[in-house]
Structure 1
Amino acid sequence: MTGYDQILAEVCATGRRLTRAELESRRLLGERAAETGVGLRVLVRQHLAATRTIWPTLGSVDADRVLAAVEQSIDAFAEGHERAQKLAVRREEAARREFIDDLLYGRSDLGRLAERAVRFGLLLTRAHAVAVCQGGTPLDDTDPATRQVESALVARFSERRVLLATKGGLLICIAPADQEEILAHFAKLAHAATDGGRVAVGRAHPGPGGIVHSYEEALHTLDLAERLALDGPVLHAVDLLVYPVLTRDRQAMADLVRNTLGPLESARGGPQPLIDTLTVYFDSGCVAAESARRLKLSVRALTYRLERVHTLTGVNPADPTHRFTLQTAVIGARLLGWPQTEL
């Protein structure tokens, strides 16, 4: 309130408006008040109380002149207060974004990271799991879907230590490992809010490094789901552990694909139709009738394709002793993007 009584007296005596310097001084005081935690409601009340105290000393001044000066002063004060609040929000958002980056990439000192995590509701001494949602369009913090999911999570799990963020166009949820219902509810909300977006859930791991590990598992699961055309709105990394094992030795997998499926390149129309046939055949439990139905073929046409595979590769899809090798090669081809990508 510094200088308010003097400004009010001069303005009312002369009938002038507040000068630019006076308005800026009010804005600066508003900023300082916000920085010290004084609410705008309190400040308005103080201005009105001060005006009531000063008014009798102003003499027979026109009420409109007094109220106009009060309005200008409070407006400038409120502008400074709001400016400081917006700056604080931007700083908080920047700090939160920096923390998310450091947390998910493991770039910061672990001790310092743990201290910062408490500020955002995480206890890094516990085990955590990460779920990631990929929508039809990239998501950010201002996206309506993000706000919708965040509001619903806060409403249901307000007392839990949950962190929701966006990164690289994905919606991310980090939750304690012993509270599986949080990620399950997040998956349901995110799938609905993004109009059918896919959610991947990493395994739970302890410590700050565990969050990075779980996050990377969730990302890898999304990648696998796309390359293998996996069904289901929610996929769990724990259910797909065999695929990282298969691709751990990429060169060995490439050799298997090349040696087993390479002869299919001589087929009319290329190898892709026969690989698609094998994929559906294995996904159908090697049941010819079901495979034919899914491919919209006759059983006779399906049988012809399988016989063609046998002729070209020397491996019989219907023979249990050959089936594992052929199915592994088909999975490897999908993981490596063959034949679109050269091995």
Structure 2
Amino acid sequence: MDPASRPAPAVTAELATVAAREHGLPAGLLDGYLDALVAVARTGRRLRDAEEAACRRLGGEAAAGGVALPRLVDLYMTASRLLWPCLPELITTGGGGRTADLVAVGEAVWRAADTAVAALAEGHVDAQRQVVRREEAFRREFVEDLLTGRSEVGPLVERAERFGLSLAAAHTVVVAVTDRPVDSGMPTTGCIEDDVRTRLGPRGLLVAVRDGRLVLVLSSAPGRPPGAGAGAEGEVLAAVAGPAAARLTRRTAWRAGVGRPHTGPRGVLRSYREAVDALTVAAQLDLPQRVVHAPDMLVYRVLLRDEEAIADLVGTVLGPLTTARGGAEPLLRTLECYFASGRNSAETARRLHLSVRAVTYRLARLHELTGHRPGDPAAELPLLVAVTGARLLDWPGRPLPVM
């Protein structure tokens, strides 16, 4: 190649082709770059705004075409290296620029190359961010439609395939919470998905955040009927989701609700609601378990289904406790611990940090006010159901609903 005998645009076009071929990339990704360097070498000026904008555009096009940023920068450096030995002749033929002062020329050219590559990288990163934002928006919309049942089933099934979910299969949903909401902007997917797949093998898996809770949706194992081994799988999911929620929120206490496996898109929604309901009931009852399964909470859901009846029972059986000194809460808490400890007064005293004598006094006072003796088998069922209903209705902290 003899640059002195050819127009500068022809030389730069050929150099761009050579550099692009060396890296296996389109020569169009260098569009205008080498011509801009020649102009800079001739005049000593900096890159113009339009030239920087062109580099940003090319960086975005490269990102859209799947070209990694290091590979793109390498292409530009190769093109710059190929151009450098040709610059003296190109400058001379282009209008008599000073070729003796190679230091000044070099400073101008490499300053322009640095500016161009920075603009190129900015455009590449911006394009990647836009892709991520679009994907996040698509993911949020899909999760919202899946967990609310707002979308039609057909389109929902098609969209699920993009996340590796076959909604014809059965799915188990686990929801994990701490006392601080999980932020949807927190990094939630990568390490959690890897952990689940390490323990349970390759399955359809969706990790998402909704209403401040961490949500995991797992496809059942192929060939396994719904419910078979679901308890063990739910425990594994909860063991991953709970600590993950704790790490994300920087809290130590966590709880996970496990829904039952159900098939179809509406099955995912049903399992999700079961998991959320299990968490709600466990919080109302202040249960000690970190992992609560939906089937274990069914009896409490039955109680809440007839709120009028349970409120009537609480008011009738435990209402008189409000006349005690200190209110109903100390006696209610004592009765709750008494049942939880297997009707053992000594264990109740230990849990409440009281003396056995104080516990005995409280139980006697409770009998006096309600007419039900805690140790009497005949009184056990109404007292136990009433205590449970009180916690579900947050009584005596809140007034009983008036029907």
Counterpart pick for 2:268 among 192, 211, 225: 211
Three-state SS of the structure 1 residue aligned to 2:154 is helix
Greater Cα offset, 229-238 or 159-168: 159-168
The count of corresponding residues between Structure 1 and Structure 2 is: 343
Cα displacement string for residues 123-177 of structure 1 (whole angstroms, at most 9, x for unaligned residues): 2111111112212322224447877645644666684322212222222211123
Quote how far apart the aligned CAs of 1:305 are.
2.3
8 Å Cα contact 1:190/1:199 also seen in 2? no
2:279 alignment partner in structure 1: 222
2:331 maps to 1:278: no
2:37 alignment partner in structure 1: 8
Quote how far apart the aligned CAs of 1:306 are.
2.2
8 Å Cα contact 1:175/1:182 also seen in 2? no
2:158 maps to 1:115: yes
Identify unmatched segments of 5+ residues in structure 1.
none
2:387 alignment partner in structure 1: 330
Distance 2:64 2:346 in 1: 72
- Report the AA paired with residue 131 of structure 1: V
Greater Cα offset, 179-188 or 283-292: 179-188
Greater Cα offset, 146-155 or 299-308: 146-155
2:121 maps to 1:78: yes
Q: Cα RMSD over matched residues?
A: 2.4
Greater Cα offset, 199-208 or 287-296: 287-296
2:243 maps to 1:189: yes
2:117 maps to 1:88: no
Counterpart pick for 2:67 among 29, 38, 42: 38
2:79 maps to 1:25: no
- Report the AA paired with residue 203 of structure 2: R
Distance 1:291 1:68 in 2: 78
Quote how far apart the aligned CAs of 1:90 are.
1.2
For normalisation by structure 1, the TM-score amounts to 0.91
8 Å Cα contact 1:187/1:234 also seen in 2? no
2:261 maps to 1:261: no
- Report the AA paired with residue 190 of structure 1: A
Three-state SS of the structure 2 residue aligned to 1:241 is helix
Distance 1:170 1:277 in 2: 33
8 Å Cα contact 2:238/2:256 also seen in 1? no
Counterpart pick for 2:366 among 309, 312, 331: 309
Identify unmatched segments of 5+ residues in structure 2.
1-29, 89-98, 222-229
Distance 1:255 1:129 in 2: 36
Distance 1:156 1:71 in 2: 48
Distance 1:52 1:293 in 2: 80
Q: Check 1:119–1:144 CA distance in 2 against 1; reply closer, same or farther (3 A cut).
A: closer
Q: Check 1:119–1:145 CA distance in 2 against 1; reply closer, same or farther (3 A cut).
A: closer
Distance 1:245 1:56 in 2: 84
Distance 2:131 2:187 in 1: 23
8 Å Cα contact 1:141/1:147 also seen in 2? no
Three-state SS of the structure 1 residue aligned to 2:209 is strand
Three-state SS of the structure 2 residue aligned to 1:230 is coil
- Report the AA paired with residue 69 of structure 1: A
Quote how far apart the aligned CAs of 1:303 are.
2.8
Greater Cα offset, 269-278 or 141-150: 141-150
2:212 maps to 1:175: no
8 Å Cα contact 2:242/2:254 also seen in 1? no
For normalisation by structure 2, the TM-score amounts to 0.78
- Report the AA paired with residue 80 of structure 2: T
Distance 1:42 1:191 in 2: 37
8 Å Cα contact 2:243/2:254 also seen in 1? no
Greater Cα offset, 294-303 or 311-320: 294-303
Three-state SS of the structure 2 residue aligned to 1:273 is helix
Percent sequence identity over matched residues? 48
1:130 alignment partner in structure 2: 173
- Report the AA paired with residue 123 of structure 1: S
8 Å Cα contact 1:257/1:332 also seen in 2? yes
Distance 1:48 1:300 in 2: 86
Distance 2:188 2:157 in 1: 29
- Report the AA paired with residue 13 of structure 1: R
Greater Cα offset, 51-60 or 109-118: 51-60
Distance 1:222 1:17 in 2: 62
8 Å Cα contact 1:127/1:206 also seen in 2? yes
1:103 alignment partner in structure 2: 146
- Report the AA paired with residue 24 of structure 1: A
Structure number, greater radius of gyration: 2
Distance 2:201 2:119 in 1: 36
Q: Check 1:325–1:163 CA distance in 2 against 1; reply closer, same or farther (3 A cut).
A: same
8 Å Cα contact 2:182/2:245 also seen in 1? no
Quote how far apart the aligned CAs of 1:283 are.
0.9
Greater Cα offset, 13-22 or 315-324: 315-324
Three-state SS of the structure 2 residue aligned to 1:164 is strand
